[in-house]
């Protein structure tokens, strides 16, 4: 019953929002609009100030068709029919009744007749990484990545009327539940301790005894949205007489200050050892005899001195902390986890996916136009590349060839000459503006054309219009 | 120049052949028609009597559009644009000039602009397993498998005018070269020895000195076919002024009596050891002192006796040879190597891919019809399953879930109860006739419905019409 | 009770045997004497005619000290104290009472106090590969290998009074049980079927119900020997009031005609495929449709022809059987499994282990003598090397550097030039005679000195006396 | 010429030192005496104040036989003859002449005749981990570990007269060169930069051009010692007319504050994330757009804030630093790297290696004495165990079963109940005093006897005299 909803949670009636139809050419702006649509009519700024990582939000929208364009139950039937969807890898069949949570996955392909037989018998169906097979979901998630600056995933849940598929638990991701069809009744519970708030890892299943009273209880109607922070214990049940279909968008998994700090301090110690002889001096010969848990109850000047020394070295670490390099390692990881960009028709035309040499019918090769100093170019997306300095070389990591399957490819990169790095920096910092190849801060014109040609060929650049073909004489 | 063609090779002018439009319901018959189309107007029986594994055949057809429906140069451009085609794994860029054979593959994705740039500069393009991305080729090869009883592969070769991409060499497969576009001039050479005739493994590259005079020389015109047996040394060059596009179909790789014999005798020794104590008795204590290559020039009664004993044991092996089981191992390997079947719309409707429970819009589950004792069923294809007895169980290996990528999946099988094997045997032996479920040679009606339900659910069976829905009361 | 012993088993009262004290220089002769000592007073020829692989033999010797020189209970205490003997890898603690067989091994080092505590509580102790730590056992087994032409192993069993450590079972080796201390009562049972006679693999544990009546029952006294063939079901129990210590020598594991036949026919098919085009021809296109277990109940001329063809090919196999090469593969395996030779002091002096360059005190290098054409040499043991032709090279496999631990080293070999093989053949065939280096059937004198130098340096040769030092001028 | 020795290096004439003959029962004290003997007549306190990690020291002792008891050239000959010493793994044959450094190792066993042939031809011989085969060296190093609190290794170098085996280079360990036989002329050079001072990793080979002028030049006489810190570039050459045999003792490899800091801060971040929600909060959504090397030249308040935040988090790390646990990880690593202790005859008698149940001749079990509350015990060595809390359990890591071969065993430990940890702490802190079992700070007497029994059985404890046997009634 929604009347139990806690009063400090924003619940807003839907108003008409007009979608901005013009494409801005800035992937972050586009993603911002998409997120605004997702949580509309809540204002993103309000959302981040009041709710993000703090409290659940139920958006009661009253527009039942709102999320329908993304997916439907018949899309799922089609997906099973046309693809080798595998139990356990791509799809789980689950149930939760009388406090017992079960997974019923057989081995092998999830053929539609088998899946629907389970469904008929009251089992829930969970699709893992469904964006692999559902292009509109791939587009949604791929775009939102540009907004969140981290990888965005999705599961789809289909639940028969009056059943529940999962035990109460919490996850390690920020969750946006898009109710597409039917109704689901949710109960949310507060984390059980401060250390379970914004947790790093998901929980196991809880029993009803363990979780106390809900802090919020509500029924999602078609078109509604429910957000809750990682760590929020939750359980949902399709209401009698109505199936439920929802998408759970997830993000911000292991994307915290602590994750970055791991990279920062590991690298800081390595650099401090290289640069500061204090870190390279030998330990006292007898330190094993007064330090260690066996000695932790002792107090001695030796222990005090030793601990002081560690403190002093720790305090020096910040001087060696390679913060930008550590951020680039986070960015590199993001580009490995990320969905590839989904290009518009126009973007294809203005990149190597549509432009360049083409093979026509009957072996007729149509030469593509040429990049010159006058060509205007920009990166395909704000987050399409990361410039990383590692193993004595400069690498441009990118997500352009990523698979729709999670980690379907190894991390992809181009290695470039050290002296070309400023050109890539310039491209990154100029985004979303087009710049002329001639503007690149490189010494020679050959270098400018060369680096842009290489990036363009890999599909990482957009040109400002189709390249002008050069007439071979 | 074609005038040098050796006289015992059949070269036949193309006549109109009318394609049989009615679908027979027998995958082997269908594949036979497809093969007849491939080599038309040569008569298959003649082909197998006179040419197969014996000599090359050039079919001059005079119908330039004959093979066009399968693939074209613009299909290849599209394939590169829309898929993450990888150099080396999926595509090679090669050249052969002045006796030097080179592969120019960079690392990473074969982006169209890069590939066509090589092509512009005189390199040949070879597509490996292009059926992964070209559905019509997958259909062609998948169907021909039913005829040849072994896996059928394909490469596509695109060659710029007046160039050659490969050095003279021979392959380990029977080759059918379908000239799709342009013209290519071929020189064929006899195997250099009896042991290189019908060889087990492909050769390396030969120099011109090593291969002698061609036994056949010819120019393929669009729509022509060229067949030659494994072991035939060959080289081809696009003629001046014309590019060349051809498909090479390949089959009968490691599909010989020797390959079967390996399996037969290994198993025969194992069984002989189990069943015949003579095979389990100890070797003479001193045999190492008179046998072995160091003693092979000696003659002694000890050696004679030892060799006679081995001869006598070898002669007994046939009594223990599990020929049918060894054939099933060949069949199992075929089903792992095979392309999956490509179903017609009608076949989909009459199998679990289209029939059975369906999820409609808005969570509406449409219950599928039910298999009863009266239902008439048959296997989807002649070669869709193999019944194999191994590791103390009965397994039905199949290719229904195979990937278009070669060995993209592990061997797939269902394990069934020993007593249900006769039902599967009956299905296999009845093909291509439909039989009633009730006709299966099993004791109980439950068993009959159960095994057919299991096979149908995996997509291995066709029903004679759509299943009749059962009205739930 | 011994009265139940079956009458056809030889039980002989011990008479004085005089041991031959002169060393013959032939490792096989020496091993023959050692085996004669082991089974004395039974005559080896009688043993092999009447008992070997046929029936058990109990040698009642009446000389309690006979086997004492090999090992004693205090040797075992010392072994545990001085070596990192590991439970499970080197030592098992077991019990069998009330039909229940248990292994009590803790994890880690088998420290003496722990082991003897188990023993005190009625557990048996089994030492696996004790020759690693007990030099006299290593000498015994290493020598016997020269007689049996296969690897010889040993376990030691120490059993507390009136207990049994193992359930009834059979092994896959020929067993010689040397009763060293105390008394053990044995019951032996016939194999349960013809196919369990001389079996290829050991059995699991049997219950008393499964094994029927003993065919032989006896009590071993100190100094007695009990032989039984692989497949003989057995159980033994220390008699009340007396512990039992025995060694079980084992040999002839997987050393049968069948094991050799596996190698012979696998290689024969490979060669037949290379040499006979019949084996390289393709299988009939439709063979999968009439062969296989699903078709095994059918009879058709197709099946008959197919089976006849397989028969005919099988019958041809012997013509391609590389018997000597297959024996060499057995010999190579033996040299990998084998214990290294144990050299006498004199042998050390006449091999590179004692002769050759020496480093004396204070960096004084004493140059060793030189091998010349006049030097007389022979192999160190009859079974010290195996000449094997494989992977297009000639290899001399040997056991000289083997570890006392089973398979402690990878197979060891020297690769030699093809044209030097006759020299090694000559050495092998001349054994046990010394020959002059000049006698080797090689073209050049350099080659003769070179190959002998290489073999001598590795320790594989004995010289006829110490090498004469050459005076450096 | 020694006259070039820099004046601030202590060179001291040898005086008679009287060795303390009484065994103190404290392994650290014993090791201190051994080290004093090693550097005698230099005073350890002076050494550590003036030289350790700072500058080379040449101890001119004038007692040529001083180090002879440890090893001699004939020991090395014996070692090669009696063990399967392998080239590359155990022994290198090297040369350095005309600026060219070569390794001549063949494959396989380093047979004496082969090794000495290289030596005759001017090659140096380096033995790696020779303590595996030379017991006195194992004793020396094992003992010194107790002094240094880290693993102590050794190489042995044998150099023919007037040759040099190695190019100039520096190592990553503190080096003590014990000149055993002959004379060697050394040149030492200062590190080339501050960051190459006390380096973490060894250098490659330098050319003469790269290293400048020696800071010290000297000739070691038999019985002399040379110490130099890690990072000191060095080269040595046997003088004309004299071979050279020396041992290089090595220690303090990766045993620095930096190595400990790695463990401290990695663990500190992990704990901070668990305990402080600030570390678990999400990163700013747009941080990838202003941080990273591509943005490192920009200045913005966003960057400043981000960097300040990292600084603030870094400063908090010390509050979460588990220093004692990190030290225990260092100690655990030491116990894995360490040589096992070498026990005196008396120690054997008073530990489970000599005491406890014994198996005598003829199966006669002699029951050992029993540990009671009155038994007095202490640890076998100061550094024999490390108490480590990890993976939710308490483990006692130890080196008692380590192999003489480096890392020949996996890390060895006993897992104990959490409540028994105080007993082990007490044992550690009481060392080197004997304590009564009854004194252990545990609740029950059973627990006291149990934990001591377990440790004693593993060989980790000494009793104060032989255990009193208990008479079984």
ipTM field:
0.87
State the pLDDT at residue A24: 79
Nearest to C262 among B269, B275, B424 (CB): B269
Residues B147, C288 contacting (CB under 8 angstroms): no
Residues in chain A: 473
| Contact yes or no, D with B (3+ CB pairs under 8 Å) | no
Whether D34 has its CB under 8 Å from any CB of chain A: the answer is: no
Structure tokens at B313: 């044991």
Q: Which residues of chain B have pLDDT under 50?
A: 1-20, 472-473
Give pLDDT, residue B1.
Answer: 35
CATH of domain B2-251: 2.60.120.650
pLDDT at D10: 40
Q: Does B362 touch chain A (CB under 8 A)?
A: yes
Closest-CA distance, C76 to chain D, in angstroms, reads 8
Q: Which of residues 299-338 of D touch A (CB under 8 A)?
A: 306-307, 309-311, 313-315, 317-318, 321, 323-325, 327-328, 330-331, 334
Cβ within 8 Å, pair A425-D297? yes
Report yes or no: A388 and A326 within 8 Å, Cβ to Cβ: no
Q: Which residues, at least 6 apart from B98, have a Cβ–Cβ distance to it below 8 Å?
A: none
A367 touches chain B (CB under 8 A): yes
Mean pLDDT, range A185-191, rounded to an integer: 98
Is residue A304's pLDDT more than 60? yes
Distance CA B465, CA B452 (A): 15
Between D147, D272, D387, which is nearest A294 by CB?
A: D387
- Domain boundaries along the sequence of chain B: 2-251, 257-321, 334-463
Produce one character per residue of D405-436: b if its CB has 16 or more CB atoms within 10 Å, e if not: ebeeeebbbbebeeebbbbbbbbbeebbebbe
Q: Using CA atoms, how far apart are residues B220 and B238, in angstroms rounded to an integer?
A: 10
Among candidate residues C322, C308, C427, C315, the one with its CA nearest the CA of residue C377: C427
Q: Which of residues 166-185 of C touch D (CB under 8 A)?
A: 181-182
User: What percent of chain C lies above the pLDDT cut of 70?
Assistant: 94
Contacts of C361 in chain D (CB under 8 A): 72-74
**With an 8 Å Cβ cutoff, is C345 touching chain D?**
no
The pLDDT, as a whole number, for residue B21 is 52
Q: Which residue of A has its CA nearest to D172?
A: A280
Q: Which residues of D touch A309 (CB under 8 A)?
A: 257
Domain A334-463 -> CATH class: alpha beta
CB A388 within 8 A of CB A412: no
* Per-residue pLDDT band at A392 (split at 50, 70, 90): confident
CA distance C243 to chain D (A): 6
Q: How many CB atoms lie within 10 A of CB D68?
A: 16
Q: How far off is chain A from D359, nearest CA to CA, in Å?
A: 37
Q: Are C365 and D116 a contacting pair at CB < 8 A?
A: yes
Summarize pLDDT for C443-464 with one digit per residue, the tens. 999 999 999 999 999 999 999 9
The chain-wide mean pLDDT, for chain C, equals: 93
Kindly report the CATH number that applies to the domain delimited by D257-321.
1.10.10.1500
pLDDT digits (tens, 9 = 90+) for B370-379: 899 999 999 9
Contacts of A193 in chain D (CB under 8 A): none
Residue located via tokens 């030491």: D334
Q: Does D119 touch chain C (CB under 8 A)?
A: yes
Contacts of C182 in chain D (CB under 8 A): 363
Alpha helix (H) residue ranges in D51-134: 73-82, 112-120
How many CB pairs (< 8 A) connect C and D?
120
| Tally of CA atoms within 13 A in the half-sphere of C459 that contains its CB | 28
Q: Which of B26, B59, B30 is nearest to B43 (CA)?
A: B59
B101 touches chain C (CB under 8 A): no
Structure token pair of residue D384? 């024999």
pLDDT at D391: 83
pLDDT at residue A124 tops 80: yes
Where residue D468 falls among pLDDT bands split at 50, 70, 90? confident
The CA-based angle B372-B373-B376, given to 5 degrees, is 85
Cα angle A419, A425, A429 (rounded to 5 degrees) comes to 160
Q: What is the pLDDT of residue C410?
A: 92
Chain D nearest CA to C370, separation (Å):
11
Over 60: is that where the pLDDT of A320 sits?
A: yes
Report CA-CA distances (Å) from D232 to A181, D183, D203, D394.
75, 20, 10, 41
B324 and C293 within 8 Å at the Cβ level: the answer is yes
Q: Examine the pLDDT at D115 and tell me if it is beyond 90.
A: yes
Q: What pLDDT is stored for residue D33 in this prediction?
A: 96
Q: How high is the pLDDT of residue A368?
A: 86
pLDDT for res C13 = 42
pLDDT band at C471 (very low <50, low <70, confident <90, very high): low
Tens of pLDDT, residue by residue over C411-448, are 999 999 999 999 999 999 999 999 999 999 999 999 99
Q: How far apart are CA C180 and CA C182, in angstroms?
A: 7
> CA-CA distance, A111 to B461, in Å (whole number)?
14
H or E element that contains A36? helix A27-39
By C-alpha distance, which of D270, D200, D320, D287 is closest to A329? D287
Instruction: Report pLDDT digits (tens) over D242-284.
Output: 999 999 999 999 999 999 999 999 999 999 999 999 999 999 9
Q: What gap in Å lies between CA A208 and CA A242, rounded to an integer?
A: 24
Give the tens place of pLDDT for each residue, B126-164.
999 999 999 999 999 999 999 999 999 999 999 999 999
Are chains D and A in touch, 3+ Cβ pairs below 8 Å? yes
> D46-79 pLDDT, tens per residue?
999 999 999 999 999 999 999 999 999 999 999 9
Average pLDDT over residues D215-220: 98
Asked if C64 reaches chain D (Cβ–Cβ under 8 Å), the answer is no
Q: How far is A183 from chain B (nearest CA, A)?
A: 12
Mutation target for D interface from C85, C359, C360, C402: give the one with most D CBs within 10 A.
C359
Q: Which residues of A touch B81 (CB under 8 A)?
A: 353-354
**Residue D215 structure tokens:** 């800071």
pLDDT digits (tens, 9 = 90+) for D150-198: 999 999 999 999 999 999 999 999 999 999 999 999 999 999 999 999 9
The whole-angstrom separation of Cα A28 and Cα A382 is: 7
Which of D260, D277, D296 lies closest to A324 in CB terms? D296
> How far apart, in Å, are the Cα atoms of B378 and each of B350, B384, B431, B452, C293?
11, 11, 6, 10, 19
Find the mean pLDDT for residues A341-346: 94
Which of D72, D117, D354 minimises the CB distance to C357?
D117
The verdict on a CB contact (< 8 Å) between B84 and A365 is: no
Give CA–CA dist B403/C268, Å, rounded.
Answer: 36
The strand pair at D412-416 and D393-398 is best described as antiparallel
Q: Which residue of D has its CA nearest to C366?
A: D116
Q: Measure C307 CA to nearest chain D CA, in Å.
A: 51
Q: Is residue C250's pLDDT more than 90?
A: yes
Residues of D in contact with A270 (CB under 8 A): 262
Contact yes or no for B313 and C257 at CB 8 A: yes
Are D257 and A279 in contact (CB < 8 Å)? yes
Q: Any CB–CB contact under 8 A between A108 and chain B?
A: yes
- CB pair distance less than 8 Å for D360 and C182: no
For residue B191, what pLDDT is reported?
A: 96
Per-residue b or e along C148-164, where b marks 16 or more CB atoms closer than 10 Å to that residue's CB: bbbbbbbbbbbbbbebb
Q: Is D281 on the interface with C (CB under 8 A)?
A: no
Does the domain spanning D324-463 belong to CATH 3.90.930.40?
Answer: yes
The reply to whether B121 touches chain A by the CB within 8 Å rule is no
Question: Chains A and B: how many Cβ contacts under 8 Å?
Answer: 120
| Among chain A residues, CA nearest to B401 | A84
Comparing A368 with B50, which gets the higher pLDDT? B50
The rounded percent of chain A whose pLDDT value lies above 90 is: 89
- pLDDT of C237 reads 98
Task: Using DSSP bridges, classify how beta strands C435-436 and A393-398 pair: parallel, antiparallel or unpaired.
Answer: unpaired
Whole-angstrom distance, CA of residue C47 vs CA of residue C36: 10
Which of C243, C363, C412 is nearest residue D181 as measured by Cβ atoms?
A: C363
The pLDDT of residue B37: 97
A429 part of contact set with chain D, CB < 8 Å: yes
Nearest CA to B86 out of B61, B109, B59 is that of B109
State whether A149 and D314 contact (CB < 8 Å): no
Q: Does domain C339-463 have CATH number 3.90.930.40?
A: yes
Max distance between CA atoms of chain C, in angstroms, equals 88
Q: Which CA distances in Å does B391 have to A388, B388, B424?
A: 52, 10, 18
Shortest CB distance from D293 goes to which of A149, A259, A325?
A: A325
Q: Residue C409: its chain D contacts at CB < 8 A?
A: 84
Q: How confident is the model at residue C470 (pLDDT cuts 50, 70, 90)?
A: low
What pLDDT score was predicted for residue C229? 98
Torsion angles phi and psi, residue D230, rounded to 5: -55, 140
pLDDT tens digit string along B38-57? 999 999 999 999 999 999 99
Rounded Cα–Cα distance for residues D418 and D398 (Å): 18
d(CA B399, CA B382): 12
Nearest to A154 by CA among A167, A141, A172: A141
Q: Do chains B and C touch (3 or more CB pairs under 8 A)?
A: yes
The model's pLDDT over A216-246, given as tens digits with 9 standing for 90+, comes to 999 999 999 999 999 999 999 999 999 999 9
Q: Considering chain D, what is the average pLDDT of its residues?
A: 93
Q: Which residues of B touch C252 (CB under 8 A)?
A: 282
pLDDT (average), residues A33-54? 97
D458 Cβ under 8 Å from any chain C Cβ? yes
d(CA B132, CA B404) in angstroms, rounded, equals 5
pLDDT, residue C3, reads: 33
CB atoms near residue A421 (< 10 Å): 19
pLDDT at D469 over 80: no
Model confidence over D276-331: pLDDT tens digits?
999 999 999 999 999 999 999 999 999 999 999 999 999 999 999 999 999 999 99
Hey, how many other C-beta atoms are within 10 angstroms of the C-beta on C204?
A: 8
What token pair was written down for C123? 């557990």
Identify the burial level of B116 via C-beta atoms within 10 angstroms of its C-beta, where 0-12 means exposed, 13-18 middle and 19 or more buried: buried
Q: Are B188 and B56 in contact (CB under 8 A)?
A: yes
A262-290 mean pLDDT: 97
Nearest chain D Cα distance for residue C337, angstroms: 17
User: Cβ neighbours of residue C141 under 8 Å, at least 6 residues apart?
Assistant: C131, C152, C153, C154, C249, C339
For chain D, which chains pass the contact test of at least 3 CB pairs under 8 Å? Answer: A, C
- Residue B434 sits at φ, ψ, to 5 deg, of -75, 145
3-state secondary structure (DSSP) of residue B124: strand
Nearest C-alpha neighbor of B397 from the set D83, C292, C119, A112: C292
pLDDT of res. C291: 97
């Amino acid at each position: 019953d929604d009347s139990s909803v806690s009063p400090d949670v924003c619940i807003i009636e839907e108003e008409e929002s007009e979608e901005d139809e013009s494409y801005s050419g800035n992937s972050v702006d586009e993603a911002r609009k998409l997120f605004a649509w997702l949580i509309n009519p809540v204002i993103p700024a309000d959302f981040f100030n009041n709710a993000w990582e703090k409290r659940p939000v139920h958006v009661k929208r009253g527009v039942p068709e709102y999320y329908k364009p993304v997916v439907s139950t018949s899309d799922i039937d089609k997906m099973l029919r046309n693809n080798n969807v595998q139990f356990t890898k791509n799809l789980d069949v689950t149930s939760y009744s009388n406090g017992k949570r079960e997974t019923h996955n057989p081995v092998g392909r999830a053929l539609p007749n088998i899946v629907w037989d389970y469904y008929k018998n009251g089992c829930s169906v969970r699709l893992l990484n469904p964006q692999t097979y559902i292009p509109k979901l791939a587009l949604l998630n791929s775009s939102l990545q540009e907004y969140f600056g981290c990888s965005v995933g999705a599961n789809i849940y289909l639940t028969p009327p009056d059943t529940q598929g999962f035990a109460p638990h919490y996850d390690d991701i920020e969750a946006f539940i898009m109710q597409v069809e039917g109704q689901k009744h949710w109960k949310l519970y507060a984390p059980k301790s401060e250390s379970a708030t914004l947790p790093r890892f998901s929980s196991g299943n809880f029993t009803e005894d363990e979780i106390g009273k809900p802090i919020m209880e509500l029924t999602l109607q078609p078109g509604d949205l429910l957000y809750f922070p990682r760590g929020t214990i939750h359980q949902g049940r399709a209401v009698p007489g109505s199936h439920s279909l929802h998408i759970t968008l997830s993000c911000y998994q292991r994307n915290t200050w602590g994750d970055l700090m791991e990279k920062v301090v590991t690298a800081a110690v390595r650099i401090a050892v290289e640069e500061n002889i204090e870190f390279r001096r030998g330990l006292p010969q007898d330190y094993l005899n007064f330090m260690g848990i066996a000695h932790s109850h002792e107090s001695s000047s030796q222990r005090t001195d030793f601990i002081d020394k560690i403190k002093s070295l720790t305090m020096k670490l910040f001087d060696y902390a390679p913060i930008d390099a550590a951020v680039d390692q986070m960015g590199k990881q993001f580009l490995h986890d990320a969905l590839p960009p989904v290009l518009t028709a126009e973007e294809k035309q203005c990149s190597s996916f549509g432009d360049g040499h083409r093979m026509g019918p009957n072996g007729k090769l149509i030469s593509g136009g040429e990049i010159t100093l006058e060509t205007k170019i920009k990166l395909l997306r704000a987050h399409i590349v990361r410039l990383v300095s590692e193993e004595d070389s400069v690498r441009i990591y990118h997500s352009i060839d990523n698979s729709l399957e999670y980690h379907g490819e190894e991390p992809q990169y181009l290695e470039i000459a050290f002296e070309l790095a400023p050109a890539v920096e310039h491209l990154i910092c100029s985004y979303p503006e087009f710049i002329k190849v001639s503007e690149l801060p490189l010494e020679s014109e050959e270098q400018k054309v060369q680096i842009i040609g290489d990036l363009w060929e890999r599909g990482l650049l957009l040109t400002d219009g189709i390249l002008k073909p050069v007439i071979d004489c």
